[in-house]
Homo-oligomer: A and B are copies of this chain.
Amino acid sequence: MTERLRLTLRVDADKKPALGHGKIRLLEQLAETGSISAAGRAMGMSYRRTWLLVDSLNQLFREPLVVTRPGGGGGAFLTAEGEAVVRCYREIEKEAAQAAETRLAELEKLLTPQIV
């Protein structure tokens, strides 16, 4: 028996950083934890790398996707645009997987069988 194949998507625009699985997971973790550092930790990333990714995401879109509350232990949250981007990406993923189901099964048959 071979195992189920999964599709992972990356969205590319010319001359812009790509939007992929990692950035979307980061936005989801941010929504969940309400904190940039907690979201980064959950993904095993340094605070600096997390912050740079959030900044790059905010630059990529017209409106910021992530905002921080002013003040000390303020935390961070997704804007309506941030939520829309996550929703959109996950929908694209679902639609793509459904559309490609037959071909993925075809590809699966060509794979080396799983050694358990």
**Interface residue? A60 (CB, 8 A):** yes
Selected from B3, B12, B19, B113, the residue in CB contact (under 8 A) with A14 is: B3
Q: Mark A56-88, 1 if CB is under 8 A from B, else 0.
A: 000111110000000000000000010011001
Tell me the dominant secondary structure on chain A's binding face. Answer: mixed
For A95, what are the chain B residues with a Cβ–Cβ distance below 8 Å? Answer: 96, 99-100, 103
Copies held by the complex: 2
- Which one of A34-42, A44-52, A104-112 is at the B interface? A104-112
A15 x B96 contact (CB < 8 A): no
CA distance A11 to B111 in the complex (A): 12
Nearest residue, chain B, Cβ from A98:
B99
